[in-house]
């Protein structure tokens, strides 16, 4: 741990920028060779809480249900409004790109993907919900690049820790100036590198002023680190339950983190601002139950008032809420 005294980030401007308008939704879904069904109640994600507020995905577009890889690829292509329901577990090799104005929703138990990745690249207004995604070899389970307005909600994301830390990549990685993202009510389990926001110390020109991400009510169970790791951006981490981490929240390269009302158990370092990067980050902590975990706060920040409405439940009720409600099949 560094011994120099804490600084404040008064010299760095805040990143509270005006939210961009939502992209307009196109009226009809792309034609695909899949079964078309009426959209069930609750299939489309309601607007997330946090920086991803206003994300609607495919909205009220007529849903299609798919159960094969080819049908899924066809269904998620393009920028027309669409709701794609995934039935059963589909094996992936590599990654599948998801288009703008899309909701991908798991139905049944379990439903989702194994072996590969979903990628959101240069898209906007996407919801990924109620999926089980496992063992994405050499890939992130969900990759978000150069994309805005994303909600990742009620998914179960996992691999194993029987291999080295680089056999898999991250579970949710957010990079290349992606912005206005909420990651909520997910289970991250049995993995080394949980969630990276900002992929490189050398990407300041692209990332500064972006990477605004909210993480709330997620359960990180036996995840070693990056819970999350944030560079350059602004992160709000509240009401999460972290068990079995080596290092959890990591603010670096001038990132600003508000860490609020979380619970940490069997964790060595709950929050650090001073590891592994050329520049430290900033962190403000309030209302957390550290469970004996250490903190390494070299710089105390000024990000204490998120620019959106939310209600943070007290840490005393987080374990019960998160274990009962997080993950696929808990809608």
Angle at the Cα of 126 from the Cα atoms of 120 and 130, rounded to 5 degrees: 100
Question: Three-state SS across the chain?
Answer: CCCCCCECCCCCCCCCCCCCCCCCCCCCCCCCCCEEECCCCCCCCCCCCCCCCCCCCCCCCCEEEECCHHHHHHHHCCCCCEEEEEEEEEEEEEEEECCCCEEEEEEEEEEEEEEEEEEEECCEEEEEECCEEECCECCCCEEEECCEEEEEECCEEECCCCCCCCCECEEEEEECCCEEEEEECCEEEEEEEEEEECCCCCCHHHHCCCCEEEEECCEEEEEEECCCEEECCEEEEECCEEECCCEEEEEECCCEEEEECCEEECCCEEEECCCCCCCECEEEEECCECCCCEEECCECCCCCCCCCCCCCCCHHHHHHHHHHHCCCCCC
d(CA 27, CA 231) in angstroms, rounded, equals: 37
> Is 226 among the residues known to form the active site?
yes
d(CA 319, CA 306) in angstroms, rounded, equals: 23
- Residue 221 main-chain phi, psi, to 5 deg: -120, 110
Overall size of the chain counted in residues? 331
Contacting residues for 106 by C-beta, under 8 A, at least 6 apart: 85, 86, 112, 129, 130, 131, 132, 155, 328
- Among 139, 212, 226, 231, the active-site one is 226
Instruction: Provide the annotated active-site residues.
Output: 226
């Amino acid at each position: 741990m560094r011994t120099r005294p804490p600084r404040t980030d008064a010299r760095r401007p805040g990143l509270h920028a005006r939210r961009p308008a939502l992209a307009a939704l196109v009226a009809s879904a792309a034609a695909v060779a899949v079964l078309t069904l009426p959209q069930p109640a609750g299939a489309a994600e309601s607007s997330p809480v946090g920086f991803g507020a206003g994300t609607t995905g495919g909205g009220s577009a007529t849903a299609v249900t798919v159960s094969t890889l080819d049908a899924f690829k066809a269904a998620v292509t393009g920028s027309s409004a669409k709701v794609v329901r995934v039935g059963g577990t589909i094996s992936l090799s590599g990654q599948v790109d998801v288009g703008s104005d899309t909701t991908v929703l798991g139905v049944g138990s379990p439903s989702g993907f194994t072996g590969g990745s979903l990628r959101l690249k240069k898209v906007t207004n996407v919801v990924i919900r109620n999926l089980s995604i496992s063992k994405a070899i050499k890939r992130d389970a969900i990759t978000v690049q150069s994309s805005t307005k994303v909600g990742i909600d009620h998914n179960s994301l996992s691999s194993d820790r029987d291999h080295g830390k680089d056999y898999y990549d991250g579970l949710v990685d957010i990079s290349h100036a992606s912005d206005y993202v909420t990651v909520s009510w997910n289970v991250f389990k049995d993995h080394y590198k949980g969630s990276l926001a900002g992929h490189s110390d050398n990407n300041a020109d692209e990332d500064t002023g972006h990477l605004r991400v909210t993480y709330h009510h997620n359960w990180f169970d036996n995840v070693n680190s990056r819970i999350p790791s944030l560079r350059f951006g602004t992160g709000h981490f509240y009401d999460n339950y972290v068990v079995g981490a080596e290092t959890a929240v990591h603010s670096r390269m001038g990132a600003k983190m508000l860490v609020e009302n979380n619970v940490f158990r069997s964790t060595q370092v709950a929050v650090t601002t001073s590891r592994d990067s050329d520049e430290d980050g900033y962190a403000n902590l309030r209302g957390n139950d550290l469970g004996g975990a250490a903190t390494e706060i070299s710089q105390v920040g000024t990000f204490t008032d998120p620019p959106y409405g939310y209600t943070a439940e007290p840490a005393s009720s987080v374990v019960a809420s998160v274990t009962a409600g997080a993950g696929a099949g808990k809608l």
